Amino acid sequence: MSKKIMVGVVVLLIAAYSSVSFKSASAQVSFKCLVQLTNYSGEGAYVMVSLIDNKGKYKKTLQVFGKEKRWWDDLPSWFKFYTITKENVDGVSGASITAGSRRVFSITADETVFDKGYQLRFETAVENKDYKEKDVEMAFSEANVGKAVEGTGYIRYVKLIKNP
């Protein structure tokens, strides 16, 4: 085989490999999220923040406030998802949130879920009190950026702030 043909074959193979193997990474959207609790009486609230798809199914746990795993089953809807998927949430865990307090955390997600019918669900539970499956459920969309979305239980409001 001539040197020119051999070089041509190598170039074609590299080009073909590159087009298959090196897909560009999906762009990300990044937000700060503020969770403000009401002044209820009782222990700190366990809060699970999840990404819910447009069919109402859990896709991913975004944040966990309440690091003692023995209490996670007090949030039964999220806990069922967690036990089925065996999702690793150690890196996103934090302490529970006390009444009247607020927390700020970061959300980073693939842009393919933003403004595409996905929801952010905030589930809450407090020891010896009611569980709130949808304390806040809000569209993960531009329409909710910068707005205070009111809760129905232990959460007073949630606010998304887009990172620059």
Spatial separation of the C-alpha atoms in residues 103 and 124, rounded to whole Å = 14
Q: 99, 100, 30, 103: which is closest to 65 by C-alpha?
A: 103
**Tens digit of pLDDT at every position of the chain (164 positions):** 565 555 454 444 454 444 444 445 679 999 999 999 999 999 999 999 999 999 999 999 999 999 888 899 999 999 999 999 988 876 677 889 999 999 999 999 999 999 999 999 999 999 999 999 999 999 999 999 999 999 999 999 999 999 87
Show the domains of the chain with their CATH numbers.
26-162 (2.60.40)
Spatial separation of the C-alpha atoms in residues 85 and 61, rounded to whole Å = 11
**pTM for the whole structure:** 0.82
Task: Give strand pairing partners of 29.
Answer: 109
Residue pair 156/144 in contact by the 8 Å Cβ criterion: no
Interior CA angle at 142 toward 52 and 85, to 5°? 15
What's the token pair of residue 67?
């690091």
Spatial separation of the C-alpha atoms in residues 58 and 112, rounded to whole Å = 16
Over the stretch 6-33, which tens digit does the pLDDT of each residue have?
A: 545 444 445 444 444 444 567 999 999 9
Q: What is the pLDDT of residue 1?
A: 57
